[in-house]
Structure 1
C-alpha cells in the first residue's frame, strides 16, 4: 500500500483545478469574441446610412448631404462625415495595389470591437471605387459588450463554484461508500445482527484495506459472540444432569437414607461438574484468544515417553506399538499445552480400544518432516461413522456409543486437544483407518515462532 488514496485524491483535485483554469480561460475568450461584434441589425443600419450618404454624394447635392449628416449627428449624438482618401507618396514613392485595395480610414462594420477601449471606434463604409468614405463614430447604443462585466463575473465566479462543487461531490462519492458500509456494519453489530457484506469489490487503497480489516474484525467478533452463546447453551444443558443427580443424592441424605454410596455419588457428581466447568472455561479461552507461545524448548520424545508411562500404568492390559526417534526437539512451543492435548488423545484411544475382541492395541509413531514432525496415533476400536467425523472436535459433541460407554464424559476432551494443538501452530487430521480403528495425524512445527504447518482442517479427510 503506497498511499493510493492520497494519489487518487490529488488526481481528482489536480484534474479539477486544471479543468477549472482551462474552462474559465476558454469561456472568457469565447464570451469576449461573441460580445465584441456589432449586432447584425446595427450592422444593417450602418450599411444603410453608408448607402444613403453615397447616394446623396453622387447626386452632387452637397447641401442635402450636409443637412442629412447634421440630422444624423444630432439624432445619434455622434460624429459623421463623408471624406476622400487621398494618400500622396513623397520622395518618388508609389502606392502598391494591395495598399490601395486594403486602405481604410476606419473599421469595417464586420470587425470585432476592442471592448476595453473607452472611446467608441470610427466605422468606415467605403463608397464604390474606394476613394470616398462615410465615416461615423459608432453610436453608444450600438456599442457591443454592454453585458461583458456580468458575463465575466459569471465565468469567473459561477463556473469556478460549480467546478469546486463537482470536485467536492467526486471526493464525497469516493469516500462516502466505505464510510456508509462502516456505519451500517457498526449499527448491525450493535443490534446483534449479521453485518452486511460490501456491495462492491474492495478498493485497492487505504479505505479498501480498512473495509477488509473491519470486515475481518466484525466477522471474528460475531463468531466469538455466537460461539459464546452456543458454549453457554451447551454448558447449561450438560450441567443440568449432574445437578439433578446431586439434588437427588442430597434429598436421600436429608431423608435419612445416607450411605457410603450416596457420599460417593456426591463426590463423583461434584468432581464431574468441576471438570466440566474447568474444561469449558479453558475451551472458551482457547477458542477466542491467541495464546502467546512460550520459550519452551523440549524433546517431544521425552514428553511422549512420560505420557506413555502414565498410560501403561492406567491401562495395563493394552498392547502398545510405539515407534519413536531418538530425539525430536521443539522450539518456542508450550510443553504444557501439547502435553494436555496428547494426554487427552491417548486416553481417548485407550478407552475406545477396550471394546475390541483382540487385545486392545494402541499404535503410536513419530516421523520427522521437512519443517517439523508428524505424530500418528491409532487405536483398534470400532471407529466412528463417516458422517460423525466432522463433528468429533465440536465442543460437547458425543456419539451415541460414547454416551453409553462413558456417561461421565463431557465431550470436551477432543475439542480441548484441537485448541491446544492449534495454539502451538500444529494441526490434526482424524479419519477411520482402513484396517479399523480411529487414527489421528498430528503435525507439529519444529519452531512454532517462525512458521506454521499448512494442512487441511481436521474434518477434511
Structure 2
C-alpha cells in the first residue's frame, strides 16, 4: 500500500502508534466512564442523605411547620411537596431505570422504616445557553413518594442531569504525559531494534562496491551477532574465491602471453609482408582480448586508494592525448568540485567511451554538467546510433552489432561492460541513448562523494 511507510522503522512506529492510540482511547473511555459513575454515585448518596435528614425532620415537626420547611428545600433541581394522603401516580409514569433503583436503595438505607415508592417522568431537554464539551440539560425526573411517620406523605421530584458539564483536565493531562513518555520509549526501542538491520543493509550495499571493506562489528544481541558473523564469513569466502580466481587468471594470462610472444617473433620471419601484417594484427587483437578479459573477470579490482579527482583536468588530458593522434574531441560545460574515486579507473571509463565515440562516430563531443550532488558526463558521437531494443544488450560481454560495429573496427566487445563496471564501482550508472539529431550518447552519472 502506498500509504504505508517504506522503511521498517516507519512501519513499526506506525503500528505501535496505532496500538498506543487505541489503548489510550479505550483507557480514557473507561476512565471517563468510571469517573462519571463515581461522581454520580457520590452525588446521589449525598443527595439521598440530605433528603433523608429532611424526612426525619418532617417526622418530628408539626403539620403546620412542614410546609415552610419543604418550601426551603425546594429548588430548580428538586421539588418538594407534601400530601395528606397517598399521592396519585401520573398516567405517563415510567418504570425506574438502574440509576433510579440505585438511588432508591440508597434512600432505603437511610430510611429503613419508611415506605418509599418511585417512578420516572419524561421531561423536555432545555437548550443550554452555554457551550461546554458536554451539553448540560435534563432528560427525566425521578419521583419518590415517602410516607411520613406521624401523618402524610412527601414527594421528592428530582430533575436529573444529562451528564458531566466539564472535561477532566487533570486526567487528560496525565494521559497525555503518559502517552508522550510511551512514545519516546517506543521510538527509542524501535530505533534500537532496527539499527542493526540498517547497518547490515549498508554493509551489503557497500560490499557490492568494495569487497575489501572492514568487517562488520560482531556486537549486540545474540541474533545481531549471528547475522554479523554470517555476513563477515560470506565476505571472507567471496574475497577468497575472487583471490583464487585472480591468481588462476593471472597464471592463464602469463601462459597465454608466452606462446603469443613466440608467435609474434616467428611472424617477423615471414617473407610475405601482407601475411606478416595479418599475423601481427591477429596477435595484437589476442593480446588486447586477453588483457581486457582478465580486467573484466577480475572486476577491475584495484589497490589504488580513493582520492579527490579534478574531473575537468582528467578530461582535458584525454582530449590532448587524442588530439595529438589526429582525433577530434571537444569539451563543453564544467564541474568545479572534485569527485572522489580511483583516478586510473575513472580515466579508463572516460577513455573507453571517448574512443568508442571516435571509433564509430568520427568525432567525440563531451559535455559536463552538475546534477545536484552528482556530476553527469555525456559523450556523443555522430555515428549511425543503435536500435532501441539493443541499447542494453551492447553492455553484455563480447556482444557486437553488425555490420557498423563489427570486429573490423577494432575492440574486443568488452569496453562498454568494463565502463559500466567502473561506474557502478563508484556508485554511479552508465546508459546509452540515441540523440534526436543522430548519433549515440553515452551518459555517465557519478556521485561527487564517491558513493550513492
TM range (shorter): 0.3 to 0.5
Q: State the structure with bigger RCO (CA 8 A, min sep 6), 1 or 2.
A: 1
Q: Which of 1 and 2 has greater Rg?
A: 1
Q: Normalized against structure 2, the TM-score is what?
A: 0.41
